[in-house]
A = this chain, B = another copy of it.
Amino acid sequence: MEMSPEEKFKEISPADFFYRNRDIAGFSNPVRALYTAVRELVENSLDACEARGILPDIVLFLTIEGQASSERNVVRIKITDNGGGIPPEHIPNAFGKILFGSKYTLIQSRGTFGLGGKMAYLYGQITTNNPLEITVGYRKKIYFFKIMIDIKKNEPIVLEREEKNNSKKWNGTIVSFTLEGDYFRAFPKILEYIKLSALVAPYANITLIDAYGRLIRFSRSTVQMPNPPKETLPHPHGVDVEMVKRLAEENRKRTLISFLTRSFHRVGKETSSRILGQLNLSPDTVVGELGLDEIVRLTQALKNYDGFLPPDASILSPIGEALLKEGIKKELEPEVLAVESRKPQAYSGHPFIVEVGIAYGGRITPPEDGNAII
Binding site for B on A (CB under 8 A): 1, 3-4, 6-14, 16-17, 19-21, 24, 51-54, 68-69, 84, 86-87, 90, 93-94, 97, 99-102, 104-105, 113-114, 125-129, 151-152, 171, 228, 240-243, 245-246, 292, 295-296, 299-300, 303-304
Which residues of chain B are near A102, meaning CB under 8 Å? 7-10
Question: Ordered nearest first, which 10 A-B pairs have the shortest CB separation?
Answer: A7-B102, A126-B242, A129-B241, A11-B100, A126-B240, A9-B90, A129-B296, A3-B84, A4-B52, A14-B14
Query: Complex Cα distance A321/B74, Å?
Result: 44
Which partner residue on chain B sits nearest A348 by CB separation?
Answer: B29
Which residues of chain B are near A68, meaning CB under 8 Å? 300, 303-304
Which partner residue on chain B sits nearest A103 by CB separation?
Answer: B7
Query: Complex Cα distance A68/B299, Å?
Result: 10
Which partner residue on chain B sits nearest A122 by CB separation?
Answer: B242
* Contact indicator B11/A97 (Cβ below 8 Å): yes
Which residues of chain B are near A51, meaning CB under 8 Å? 4, 7
* Contact indicator A11/B128 (Cβ below 8 Å): no
Which residues of chain B are near A19, meaning CB under 8 Å? 242
Least CB distance from A229 to B in Å reads 12
11 contacts between A and B (CB under 8 A): A1-B52, A1-B54, A9-B100, A10-B101, A10-B104, A11-B97, A14-B17, A125-B241, A126-B240, A128-B241, A151-B242
Query: Complex Cα distance A93/B12, Å?
Result: 12
* Contact indicator A17/B295 (Cβ below 8 Å): no
* Contact indicator A104/B12 (Cβ below 8 Å): yes
Identify which of A6, A7, A90, A299 gathers the most chain B CB atoms within 10 Å of its CB.
A7
**Which of B16, B152, B171 is the one whose CB lies under 8 Å from A3?**
B171
Which partner residue on chain B sits nearest A300 by CB separation?
Answer: B68
**Which of B10, B101, B242 is the one whose CB lies under 8 Å from A100?**
B10
New contact pairs (13) apart from A8-B102, A20-B104, CB-CB < 8 Å:
A1-B54, A4-B52, A9-B100, A9-B102, A10-B100, A11-B93, A17-B99, A24-B24, A68-B303, A125-B242, A126-B243, A127-B240, A129-B292
Which residues of chain B are near A11, meaning CB under 8 Å? 93, 97, 99-100
**Which of B52, B94, B114, B304 is the one whose CB lies under 8 Å from A69?**
B304
* Contact indicator A6/B87 (Cβ below 8 Å): yes
Given known A4-B51, A97-B11, contact A127–B241 (CB-CB < 8 A): yes
Query: Complex Cα distance A368/B240, Å?
Result: 40
Which residues of chain B are near A304, meaning CB under 8 Å? 68-69
Least CB distance from A240 to B in Å reads 5
Query: Complex Cα distance A14/B11, Å?
Result: 11
Which residues of chain B are near A299, meaning CB under 8 Å? 129
* Contact indicator A20/B84 (Cβ below 8 Å): no
